[in-house]
Amino acid sequence: MGTVTLRGNATQIVDGFPAVGSQAADFHLVTKTLRDVHLSDYAGKKKLLSAVPSLDTGVCIASTKRFYEAAAGLDNVVLLVVSDDLPFAATRVCADEEIDKVETLSMMRSRSFAKDYGLLIEDGPLAGLCTRAVIVIDENDKIIYTELVPEISQEPDYDKALAALA
């Protein structure tokens, strides 16, 4: 098991966070229109995958907005924000924040994404949710950047993640 912290308290997560240079694992997630998607649905594009516990929190929406503002003008890049939120809640939050070029994806039908990517929180108050992480995947589904944010309540390193997309 890995460890991150939540407000300074150690929190266990499953093993398996992917390494740079490895092939991205397939996933089964759900869009805001309740359509099932997999990694192959984004074939040929660079993917900035931002995993968050819930878009309905200040830090999660702040990071989504920051990536949205920076990545919106990039060619051949899709911003995927994965959370445990139901698609309806993610859609509401993005509408409230006027974020329209983000693909919000839900784990409502399968927890395999959080397990396969080593992001599932195993204990503490957020047990069962996804921890905060950023994974950049190239056009050939090779992982070119990762950040497992060590403190769940902190924002990721935007500059490094965005540099990986360049």
Q: Among all residues, which ones are annotated catalytic? A: 60
Query: How are the residues of the chain apportioned to helix, strand and coil, as percentages rounded to the nearest 5?
Result: 25, 30, 45
Q: How many angstroms separate the CA atoms of 148 and 18, rounded?
A: 10
